[in-house]
């Protein structure tokens, strides 16, 4: 996949619930954004809240090594999603057999 520019990445993710990005696109996204929240999931790398201009983007890595981003409307919405993810990862760490629903 060719590297998209940041505007195209943001435009793409605003039209859908989530978008899949490449490692190169993630590097570009991270280089042009401010990291507001960054938490290590200990199971599936880091989950981040990024701010690019006026846009808020959550970036996470699935347990299948797919990089996903999703647009959120507010920091509150982002914090709820991130804390929910971290709770599930903690349960997974404890062996609950639960899964993160990345594609919802």
pLDDT exceeds cutoff 90 at 99: no
Residues composing the chain: 104
User: From CA 83, how far away is CA 39, in angstroms rounded?
Assistant: 9
Rg (CA), the chain: 13
Per-domain residue ranges for the chain?
7-93
Confidence of residue 12 (pLDDT cuts 50, 70, 90): confident
* Range with the poorest average pLDDT among 1-5, 82-86, 98-102: 1-5
Strands annotated E in the chain? 19-21, 34-40, 46-52, 55-61, 67-72
pLDDT exceeds cutoff 60 at 37: yes
pLDDT of residue 18: 93
Which residue do the tokens 């696109």 mark?
A: 25
pLDDT of residue 4: 60
Write the pLDDT tens digit of every residue in 19-36. Answer: 999 999 999 999 999 999
pLDDT exceeds cutoff 50 at 96: yes
pLDDT of residue 92: 86
pTM as predicted: 0.89
pLDDT of residue 3: 53
Contact call for residues 78 and 58 (beta carbons, < 8 A)? yes
């Amino acid at each position: 996949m060719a590297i998209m520019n940041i505007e195209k990445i943001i435009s793409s993710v605003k039209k859908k619930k989530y978008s899949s990005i490449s490692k190169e696109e993630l590097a570009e996204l991270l280089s042009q954004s401010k990291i507001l929240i960054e938490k290590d999931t200990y199971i599936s790398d880091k989950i981040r809240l990024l701010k690019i201009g006026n846009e808020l983007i959550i970036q996470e890595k699935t347990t299948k090594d797919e990089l996903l981003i999703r647009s959120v409307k507010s920091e509150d919405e982002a914090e709820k999603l991130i804390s929910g993810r971290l709770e599930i990862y903690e349960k997974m760490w404890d062996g609950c057999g639960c899964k993160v629903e990345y594609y919802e």
